[in-house]
Structure 1
Amino acid sequence: MPKQISVISSVKDTYKEEFVANQLVEAQINPSLSPKMRHDLIDVSYTYKNAFASDNEPLGTIKGNEVDITLNIDRQYPPVLRRPAYPASPRPREALEKHI
């Protein structure tokens, strides 16, 4: 039995090494972390790797937690709501228009 466990763990370690080499290559892990903290961080990152976006799988690929991001260039509010909070009276408005 121990041989099976070591074979399974070595296969997992191979996958983890590939994950670190491919996915975490650009990650900037704090150099002041202890080796154990760094190892724990890599373990958590590997265990929950599906929670992170990648080049092939964009944000929102976790089933049950999809994210819909809509980029909007339209103005959100009608012109009536976009008026200044304190509109200028005619005299100050003329002075403002001279400077603008």
Structure 2
Amino acid sequence: MMNTIFHTELSEGWLIIYIDDIIIGSDSWSFHLERLARVLQKVAEVNMKISLKKCNFGFEELKALGHVVSGLSLGIDKNKVAAVLLKPIPQNKKEMMSFLGFSSYYRQHLKDFAILAKSLYRICDQQTLFERTQERIKAYEKIKQALT
């Protein structure tokens, strides 16, 4: 529903929607006010409700869904990855799947993630013995490094 209501704004690339959260990106305060007015107009047209307690207006940077949103850019929230980076290398398939699931969430920020993670995904297969080879340790360390 939200994607339908804000189709134009989404296609213009300055609006991010996740379930019922809306983030407006702008290069300047005047653009921000114009875009905010457009969004609020559509909200009113469809009789949508807004929780003012959840609203933050005019921030140059904010943290949302494990990302840092700044203007029109999206980065990794380093506080979200800190705990994962402190953990030792996974000791079994379950731990490796957990690490891969977490790091895959940030794959858009990780150059060549699919290539790096390929050998790690392979050892998570049920028919494969969980064996840490130098190649896999190196891949794990490269992914960890890319998250920092």
With normalisation by structure 2, the TM-score equals 0.18
With normalisation by structure 1, the TM-score equals 0.23
Indicate the structure whose relative CO is greater, using CA pairs within 8 Å and at least 6 residues apart.
Answer: 2
Higher strand share: 2
